[in-house]
Structure 1
Amino acid sequence: MDSTPSNTPASNEVSDDKVFAAMSYLWVLCLLPLLMKRNRPFVQFHAKQGFLLFLFEVVIWVLMFIPPLYFIGMLAAVVLSIMGLVSAITGKEWEMPVLGKYAKSLKF
């Protein structure tokens, strides 16, 4: 028997919330799960990360006049969004590099 703790919540809790969790990584739509599913830990995990990713994208958008930073930042944002979306759809809690640790400390 494997004693390694899993970051995957119970499947019955996740099954109803996958759509809202996936929505968390679609730019400003991250606000809907953040506000509508406050009592669902799986959705909140993804919504907080999606919210921080949204803020990161806004900062990158402001830096669009510095082409190398804009390109690298938007590429990172797209990759993180896709990875977060896939993890939400598959019912997993994947912690994003850098943003994930800050998302844990958010209180809404």
Structure 2
Amino acid sequence: MEEEKQQTPATPATAETKKPNDNMIMGIISYLSFLCFIPLFTKKDNEFVYFHAKQGLVLFILEIIVYVLSRILVGIFIGSLTGWTLLSVFSVIINLLNLGLLVLSIIGIINVVQNQKKELPLVGKFAHKIKI
């Protein structure tokens, strides 16, 4: 008769998979535009999340300013012939500003994932002044 071989159940890999915790998720949400209000008001007692939520709020305010500025410029320059040229120049500037805000958001998310409380360039000093 054939010998029956005992099979041992497969064990999961010993390498731990790092699951994101609630603070990390809330920190990431802080840099997603208007969603910054969720961690700002729900995680006020958590210093790490609150730090990133305030920076996210400053970025959101800057996004609103850039958007309003772009709408005003479109309204001003849309009617004239020279306006199209100026509007093209301002469109490039507005797009670069939006790109800069996106890069700052990505840097903020990277800081959250690395569990760091680093001030974002140009934004961090304003975030410190926010008291909610």
TM-score above 0.5: yes
Indicate the percent of aligned positions where both proteins have the same amino acid: 36
Residue 62 (structure 1) shift: 1.6
Distance in 2 (CA, whole Å) between partners of 1:84 and 1:58 is 18
Match of 1:82, as an amino acid?
A: I
TM-align CA RMSD = 1.5
Match of 1:86 among 93, 105, 110: 110
Q: In structure 1, what is the Cα distance between the partners aligned to 2:110 and 2:40?
A: 18
Normalising by structure 1, what TM-score?
Answer: 0.82
Residue type at the aligned position of 1:35: F
Structure 1 counterpart of 2:123, from 86, 99, 102: 99
Query: What is the CA deviation profile of residues 47-103 of structure 1, one whole-angstrom value per residue up to 9, with x for unaligned ones?
Result: 000000000011111222331321111010010011101111221112111110110
Deviation >4 Å, runs of 4+:
none
Distance 1:107 1:98 in 2: 18
Q: CA deviation at 1:104?
A: 0.8
Superposition pairs of residues 63-78 of structure 1, within 5 angstroms = 63-64=69-70, 65=74, 66-78=90-102
* 2:63 aligned with 1:39: no
